[in-house]
Amino acid sequence: MEKGRSEDNMSNIEYLEERQHIIDVARELQEIGLLVRTWGNISCRTDHNHFLITPSGIKYEDLTPDMIVLVNLKDMSYEGEYKPSSEKLVHAAAYKARKDCDFIIHTHQVFASCAGTLGIKKVFSYFEDEDVTIPVAPYALPGTQKLADNVGRTLSHYKSANGIIMSNHGTLCLGQTSNEALFEAEMMETACNNFLEDVCKMDMPHGVEEMFSSHLENGDIRYAVSDTPERVKTIHKQIYAKRPDVKFIVHNKSEAVMMVSRRANHMKPLLDDFAQLIGVSVKIPSNEGEIYHNIKKKVNVLFVPNDGAYCFGGNEDDAQAVATVLDKGCIAYVAAMRNGEGHYLSLFDCIKMNRNYRKNYSKLADTVEHEEKDDQET
């Protein structure tokens, strides 16, 4: 029996129904593509002084009710062995600003996040023939009091808005019920897609278009496609040789990634998760002779001219995560270019986020996964 998951233990958990509902909403958001991996967070108010929130660094498919954390709204103290989401301050600020709000969804959904990188204060768009205005809260580092303050002020200023974008980060969707918050998330994504089409003249799909990927097995390279070209095999060999920590490579040739590989020479992060997972700066070589020298220790992507990008990680999940974030980052980059300007993250902030992610956040999911395997074996 897995730790903390027996039926007897579950029956004694306070707010069991509310905890399970948060998990159900998270999985619904996963199914429609608005939540992936461990990114984003969900909460619900339990009374005037407390709220439940998803934990930090645990995949949504692995959540159980005992992992949902009860947080004190006044002093941010919490109960249980699991740490609450790093954005608990943002949720608290939202509940304080909106007394009628009982459910909050925070996502890193693609089009709304990309619209929030353009340096604008509001997104003017439409949804089902109705005009929509989405406020954009000023940027601050994730998990900080400054970000929470920015969110609180934005929600207090735009009292009729039940959804806002956090600049260079993601969305915050509010409702009296989970259905209201979920509707806000879906509405914002459609409206922001419409905005990008109209203002930035781009109708660009999102998602990883995987081509020639590989992984290491007992020290040997196993290619996902049997007839992988020799030119591509050479690139894989160079990556594994220069990055001994890499065990999986995902070759991403999505439309946005291909466009950047053809037309750009340098990418600076426009989104927090790009800086965290991929690196603080990515160069795009102008010719294949420069490829080897662009394999960097702290950059998890290698662009190849007119051939997309090779995204890598210590396991398949990490490599796929890098590929997903890169696709979104490239959509944001193209939108900024076509808009004429974008709000790029500072080098200092990128370095700080990247170091913090490598040191702390990226290890949490692996720790939980290993603990669960140990419990199953005992």
User: For residue 6, how far is the Cα from the chain centroid?
Assistant: 32
| Nearest Cα to Cα of residue 182 among 17, 16, 22, 18 | 22
Task: State the catalytic residue, choosing from 2, 14, 81, 87.
Answer: 87
Is 254:332 a contact under the CB 8 Å cutoff?
no
In angstroms, rounded to a whole number, what is the distance separating the alpha carbons of residues 35 and 370? 23
Q: What is the DSSP string of 200-240?
A: S------S--B-S-EEEETTEEEESSTT--HHHHHHHHHHH
Counting Cα atoms < 13 Å in the Cβ hemisphere of 325 gives: 28
Q: Each residue of 69-81: b (16+ CB within 10 Å) or e?
A: bbbebeeeebeee
| Nearest Cα to Cα of residue 343 among 136, 178, 199, 175 | 136
Q: Is 130 a catalytic residue?
A: no
Residues annotated as catalytic are 87
